[in-house]
Amino acid sequence: MNVLVTGSLGQVGSELALELKRRYGNNNVVASDIRSDETSPLVHDGPFYTLDCRDGTALADIVRKHNVKTIYHLAALLSAVAEARPQDAWDININGLHTVLEVARENGCSVFTPSSIAAFGPTAPKDYTPQNTIQQPTSMYGVTKVSGELLCNYYHKKYGVDTRGVRYPGIISNVTLPGGGTTDYAVEIYYEAVRKKHYTCFLKADTYLDMVYMPDAIKAAVDIMEADPARLRHRNAFNITAMSFSPEDQAAYIRKHIPEFEISYNVDPVRQALANSWPNSLEDYAARVEWGWDPQFDLDAMTADMLNVLSARGV
């Protein structure tokens, strides 16, 4: 039984594909992305394909050739890019997902697709946003995420495709940088703290958003796909969170390690509007009960680890 990862050179895909290779064997995990990158071990070590996930024929060929039974579909545009290119965002995020679901239906594959905190909009409760509540996002990214959740649930109910997903908060990692998201500041701040002891943030000081450290984000993707289906009352998608903080909170935790660190603000109205429309914090009880979500890193532990790793690497 083999696994295919789309978007495997992206922020989540690059680390998830390596973890899946460690767990299931190098040649049992097929990596793919719309571009190639000669510097990535995923391109040289084990099967790799340059693949546009909207190309159903190419996707189906890979699935059949490698006897793929699980697809981790990570290829998507993030929120700020989606807001700048809404037509592309719909095409890639929705037509790409639809193509993956069709190939999965025809070939008996299960599918993991990430949703996002962006699947909620300004009409949802802001604090401890429940698993099941109003979903009226106002961004194109959010529209694609809530549509994707509905589409995956439809394929599960109508065709029995084993679709599962989580609503990721902002993801912080010290390996691959995110590209074009609203929560990117929460990663950049650590790099700039190590490099310059100063960071200019594009969100306001008191903007609260949920976050998760990459090791927990990867574990979520693996654990939900390995979960006993009999325990799953939800499918697409589970709220998950590990912490909720603002830029000024994060700066305060960085100062525990770098006392001279300073933060200033130059607000980007587009990304601020996106952040303002999202929850301050999620409630993730269903994920904890149905498949054992239990994140290991809070803001304190993550900050210590990020600064250690980046300093040691000399970024």
> Active-site positions?
141
116 near ligand AKB (CB under 6 A): yes
DSSP string, the chain: -EEEEESTTSHHHHHHHHHHHHHH-GGGEEEEESS--TT-HHHHSS-EEE--TT-HHHHHHHHHHTTEEEEEE-----HHHHHHSHHHHHIIIIIHHHHHHHHHHHHT-EEE--EEGGGS-TTS-SSSB-SSS-----SHHHHHHHHHHHHHHHHHHHH---EE-EEE-EEE-SSSPP-S-STTHHHHHHHHHHHHSEEEESS-TT--EEEEEHHHHHHHHHHHHHS-GGG-S--S-EE--SEEE-HHHHHHHHHTT-TT-EEEE---HHHHHHHHHS-S-B--HHHHHHH-------HHHHHHHHHHHHHHHT-
Question: Binding ligand AKB by CB under 6 A: which of 101, 111, 118, 166?
Answer: 118
For residue 117, the minimal CB distance to ligand AKB (Å) is 5
**Residue 77 near ligand AKB by CB under 6 A:** no
Total chain residues near ligand AKB (CB under 6 A): 11
Q: Is 129 near ligand AKB (CB under 6 A)?
A: no
Indicate which single residue of 96, 181, 279, 295 sits in contact with ligand AKB (rule: CB under 6 A): 181
Among 14, 144, 163, 182, binds ligand AKB (CB under 6 A): 182
Choose between 48 and 278: whose C-beta lies nearer to ligand AKB. 278
Cα diameter, the chain: 58
Contact between 303 and ligand AKB by CB under 6 A: the answer reads no
Residue given tokens 């290991």 in the structure block = 296
Task: Tell me the closest approach of the beta carbon of residue 213 to ligand AKB, in angstroms.
Answer: 13
Tokens read off for 52: 């546009």
Instruction: Determine the residue with CB nearest ligand AKB.
Output: 181
- Applying CB under 6 A, does 117 fall inside the site for ligand AKB? yes
Is 254 a binding residue for ligand AKB by CB under 6 A? The answer is no
C-beta of 99 vs 182, nearer to ligand AKB: 182
Which of 8, 79, 280, 281 lies at the binding interface for ligand AKB (CB under 6 A)? 79
Q: Give the range of 14-22, 24-32, 180-188, 259-267 binding ligand AKB by CB under 6 A.
A: 180-188
Distance of alpha carbon 153 from alpha carbon 146, whole angstroms: 11
Residue 12 as a binder of ligand AKB (CB under 6 A): the answer is no
Which of 12, 78, 103, 212 contacts ligand AKB by CB under 6 A? Answer: 78
Degrees to nearest 5, angle at CA 161 with 158 and 167:
100
Q: How far is the CB of 49 from ligand AKB (least distance, A)?
A: 25
Site string for ligand AKB, 138-177 (x = CB under 6 A): ---x--------------------------x-x-------
Contacts to ligand AKB by CB under 6 A: 78-79, 116-118, 141, 168, 170, 181-183
